[in-house]
Amino acid sequence: MNKIVKIVLVVLGALAAILWYQLPGRDVPASEAVESGAMNTMFIITYILLGLAVVISLVFTLKNLFSNPESLKKTLMVIGGFIVVVIISYALATGTDVSIEEMANRGIATSESTIRRIGTGLNMFFILVLIAIVAMALGAFKNMSNK
């Protein structure tokens, strides 16, 4: 398996080098450079490799997750805690923080639900930062007390 991966990587590297030299020069207008076959092929290869990396990492993560019941329990607790943070953040967001009319005057079409979703995201960020700070402080305090 390792030899096959190395061969595929060498082939992809050679193909990428060939495509690199076929890219349009600096003097080519951007509108023409975007339609370059070499550039499109490089993007396709990038998307394929990214997709493979995501699929493989998900498969191995799920395999390891379900093979160890204790890690599955911890993961479900973390997901449950995250859902609680989302619910608290949504409850704290009012949706009336910004004047909809003023946003419309500036050319930004928005609604109360959009403002509430943005507020939810900001509240989640602040709550998660607070949780991270408390976790780091508790860990530091625990290390100091053990010495």
The model's pLDDT over 72-117, given as tens digits with 9 standing for 90+, comes to: 899 999 999 999 999 999 999 887 777 778 777 888 778 888 888 9
Regarding pTM above 0.85, the answer is no
Segments making up each domain of the chain, as ranges: 1-67, 68-147
Q: What is the C-alpha to C-alpha distance for residues 18 and 63, in angstroms, rounded to an integer?
A: 38
**SS (HEC) of 4-65:** HHHHHHHHHHHHHHHHHHCCCCCCCCHHHHCCCHHHHHHHHHHHHHHHHHHHHHHHHHHHHH
- Beta strands (DSSP E) in 55-122 are none
